[in-house]
Amino acid sequence: MAKARREIKEKLKLIDVVIELVDARLPQSSRNPLIDELAQQKPRLMLLNKADLADPAETERWRAFFKRTGAEVLAINAQTGAGVKNIAPACKTLASALYQKWEQKGMKPRPLRAIILGIPNVGKSTLINRLVNKRQAKVGDRPGVTKQQQWIKVKQELELLDTPGILWPKFDDQEVGLRLAATGAIKDELLDYGDVAAYALRYLAAEYPDLLEARYGIERNSEEDDIVPLFEAIGKKRGCIVRGGLVDFDKTAELILRELRSGTIGKVTLEKAEHEAL
C-alpha cells in the first residue's frame, strides 16, 4: 500500500488527467480518501462503473453530487463498454487549458497522459481492456489482480497508467467496510458472510422491499428489527435446508450476496447521495 502510494506520487508529475474509478452502487464508500491528496489539483474524471447494477435514479443523483465538487462524471459499464466511448472526449475537455498552452507555444499536441486510480475490484483492468479492445491488463473477479504499474496506449488519444488498486488500511466507519464487503471489494476469505449478508438484507428490506418481494416472494415488516425471520424465509424459499428441516444460514448468506453482486436481485445502490449532501 505504502509502496503503491509512493509510486503514484512520483508518476503524477507526468499526468495530465486523473481518472478515478468508483463503484456506482456505493460511489462514496468505494472512493479512497488518499486519492484527493494524491491527485492534487489535476483535472479529474470520475467514472461510476458497474452502473448497470446500480439504481439509475441514485446514479443520476450521484452524478450531480460529484459534478458539484468540480469533477467531470460519467456513468459506465466497463464489462459491456456502455459509456466507455465518452471517456477520451471527456479527458480532452478537461485538458482544454493544456491544449491551449501547447497551441500558444506552437507545440504539436501529444497524447494525453492519464492515470487510473481506484480501490481493488472496482473494474480498472476491465476498463483498460475495453478501451484498448484487447486483453492487455490482467482481469479477475477478485481484488488485487493488478500487481504493478504499466503504461497502455489507447489509439492515438490517450496513454493510460494502470496502477494496483489502493485500499486504505482501516475504515473509520464500519458501515463503509460492510458496503465494500457486500459488493466484493474485500476478499471473501476476510469476511464473515453472515454479518455482511445480514447488513445487505437489512438495507434491502428498508430501501428496496419490492425487489425482495419480487425475487424471493416474501414480504418484510418494516417495523421488525430482527432480520432472522427474513433470513429463514429466503432460505426456505430457495431450498437452503440442512438435515432436520432447519435453514442453512451460511448457504443462505452466500446466496444473498451472490445474487446482490450479480444484480439478480435487481438494480441496487447501497448508499444515498442525499446523505452526503447533508
Domains and CATH numbers, the chain: 2-162 (3.40.50.300), 192-277 (1.10.1580.10)
User: CA-CA distance, 275 to 229, in Å (whole number)?
Assistant: 29
Q: Confirm if 25 and 54 have CB atoms less than 8 A apart.
A: yes
**pTM recorded for the entire structure:** 0.87
> E strands of 143-184, at which residues?
150-154, 158-162
Per-residue pLDDT of the chain (278 residues; tens, 9 = 90+): 677 677 777 888 889 999 999 999 999 999 987 788 777 788 999 999 999 999 999 999 999 999 998 889 999 999 999 999 999 999 999 999 998 998 899 998 889 999 888 887 888 889 988 988 765 544 444 444 444 566 788 877 889 887 666 656 566 788 888 999 999 888 777 778 889 999 999 999 999 999 999 999 987 665 567 889 999 999 999 999 998 889 999 999 999 999 999 999 999 999 999 766 54
- C-alpha–C-alpha distance, residues 185 and 189, integer Å: 12
- How far apart are alpha carbons 12 and 18 in whole angstroms? 9
At position 66, the amino acid (one-letter code) is F
Cα 76–80–81 angle (5° rounding)? 55
Q: What amino acid is encoded at 225 in this protein?
A: D
Residue 221: CB atoms within 10 Å: 11
Going by C-alpha positions, the residue among 163, 161, 162, 168 that lies closest to residue 186 is 168
Phi, psi dihedrals of residue 49, rounded to the nearest 5°:
-80, 165
**Buried b vs exposed e over 89-107: b needs ≥16 C-beta within 10 Å?**
ebbbebbeebeeeeeeeee
